[in-house]
Amino acid sequence: MKRLVIFASGSGTNAENIIQYFQTTKTAAVTHVLSNNEHAKVFERCERLQVPATLFDKKSLTVEDTVLQFLKQEADYIILAGFLWKIPSRIVAAFPNKIINIHPALLPKYGGKGMYGMHVHKAVKENNERETGITIHYVNEQYDEGAIIFQAKTEVSAEDTPEDIADKVHKLEYTFFPKIIEDVIGQND
């Protein structure tokens, strides 16, 4: 059974969905959640789901090897579920094709630094896009530029608000993210 460590910065809905999905499989288990935000709701979700969660700071991720050493001991795969910091190159190098991110748009559109959550959905609306979706991709040294694993699309109507778009994208995330993680693990092992 593969060990998954999730990085999350916010509410943790995707983290919760992934934890619950893998509680019913023999492929992998979420063994830990790491967050850079002491106020993240993901901590409450982890407590309820009985998954250990740890707060870390930028120094332990980027300057010291604290997070890297933890990951080397505890993770087979790293899952980014609403995590907003760039992963340092030494962690990317230590986990080649083992760090998976989900982005709430059809990359390469609406990717890069600062493009997350409602920022993405507002940009989709402002640009009158007729479709949007999710991209699940491997993480490299650049924001949202790793090799694409999977994309799913949803229509955007002229009447949709950014909140409506967010709801459509969240449905895709919940439907596909855990299954695609499981597929990647199956292909790599």
Start-to-end CA span in the chain (Å): 11
Of 32, 103, 121, 137, catalytic:
103
| Distance between CA atoms of residues 179 and 173, nearest Å | 10
> Which are the contacts of 62, defined by CB distance < 8 A and separation ≥ 6?
88
Query: Cα–Cα distance between 90 and 97 in angstroms, integer?
Result: 13
Q: Examine the residue annotation and report whether 39 is marked as an active-site residue of this protein.
A: no
Tell me, letter by letter, the H, E, C secondary structure of 40-102.
Answer: CCHHHHHHHHCCCEEECCHHHHHCCCHHHHHHHHHCCEEEECCCCCCCCHHHHHHCCCCEEEE
User: Which secondary-structure segment (H or E) carries 133?
Assistant: strand 131-138
Active site residue ranges: 103
